[in-house]
Amino acid sequence: MLKQDLCNLTLKELKSYISEVGEKPFRAKQIYRQIWTNQVSDFEEMTDISLNLRTKLNELATIGTLNLIDLKIGDNGLTRKAIWKTEDDKVIESVLMIYPDRATVCVSSQAGCPMACVFCATGKMGLLKNLSAGEIAEQVLWARREVQKINKEPLEENSHYVNKDNLPKNLSNVVFMGMGEPFNNYKNWWKSVELLHDKDGFNMGGRSFTVSTVGLVPGIDKLAREDIPVNLAISLHTPFDGNRSALMPVNKKYPIATLIKASKHYAKNTGRRVSFEYCLIKGQNDSEDDATALAYLLSNPEKFPCHVNLIPWNPVKDTGLKTITKIAREKFKKILKKHGIPCTVRIERGQDIDAACGQLAGDYSSPHNS
């Protein structure tokens, strides 16, 4: 019999479960606080409950189900990729990145991905499974513990401006940008957000969450109605439908005009800006015409609160694609800014451990570099 994963239960669900196993409901709040506030990973650490209850929980339940099978460390200790195996032997990855005064974890919502974007290693896998809310949230619990661990370790010299004075003391941000399409697993993904946001537990503010989608319009519309202010990032990557359909098959169902309309609705309904992720690929979407058309797309007939996050494409084997030069990247950025489009270049992190954007493939035995 599979044990009950307590990381997958809200406080209300945990109270029902505790009653079902013959314990008083108030014990649920103690257990919930230990898991989400104290981040314990072993029932034996729950010293405020009886030995008998701890023994029962060991027999019937678990605190998470993911098995950490490898931890890769890059960028002089500031980027860490956790490689997990699920109970049903699927491999997923999470990436923790330390910056001056902030720590961000990139978590997976699926094993593999059904979206088949040609520039992404995960998209080459196909969909293997949807992760449960507990499996998604457990990656974040690991990240918070890992940040606390990093604070106790000697800090290596690095070129990322992180020092003892600005080393973050706690996890700052959660980005649902790892393996999988969160809106293709909306119910479980949103439950993980609720678990992590709960003021009686993990208590992370809604604006600390960012979800990335390839452009599933029903998910964007649904997020616009939710009561937790999660930030939205949309993978756009080109302003032209034909090119986008070739790079991202999802565009055939939700073309750019439909996507921009949903983005404007989200911005108007929530009062929050939309981030557009734009992966710069040499010869595919990096020309002056691409930059000018992108600026026009985001500003006509009227501007709306948005921002472009330029991402130098990270090598993925067997794609035949190439990344652009720094000079070409800056030229693209300059054109956007000239037209009044706010934009930044994403800091490149994790390439030395195949942890950069687009490189997560659930296969730690072979490199992704071409």
Distance CA 105, CA 215 (A): 22
Beta bridge partners of residue 81, listed in sequence order: 72, 95
H/E stretch holding 13: helix 11-20
The one-character DSSP state at 157 is P
Q: What are residue 70's phi and psi, to 5 degrees?
A: -165, 150
Name the CA dihedral angle for 356, 359, 364, 367, rounded to a multiple of 10 degrees. -100
Residues with Cβ < 8 Å from 37, sequence gap 6 or more? 201, 202, 203
Cis peptide before 301 (omega within 30 of 0): yes
Amino acid in position 279? C
Structure tokens at 326: 């720094």
Q: 3-state SS of 208-269?
A: HEEEEECCCHHHHHHHCCCCCCCEEEEECCCCCHHHHHHHCHHHHCCCHHHHHHHHHHHHHH
* Residue with tokens 């491999």, as numbered in its chain: 91
Considering the candidates 93, 135, 138, 146, report the single residue annotated as catalytic.
Answer: 93
Distance CA 298, CA 337 (A): 12
- The yes-or-no answer on residue 357 being catalytic is yes
Ranges of beta strands (E only) in the chain are 4-5, 61-62, 67-74, 79-85, 91-99, 102-106, 110-113, 126-130, 173-176, 209-213, 231-235, 274-280, 306-312, 343-345
Considering the candidates 106, 117, 306, 357, report the single residue annotated as catalytic.
Answer: 357
Helix, strand or coil, per DSSP, at residue 88: coil
Q: How many CB atoms are closer than 10 A to CB 45?
A: 13
Q: What are residue 343's phi and psi, to 5 degrees?
A: -155, 155
Distance CA 79, CA 103 (A): 10
- The yes-or-no answer on residue 7 being catalytic is no
Residues marked active site are found at: 93, 357
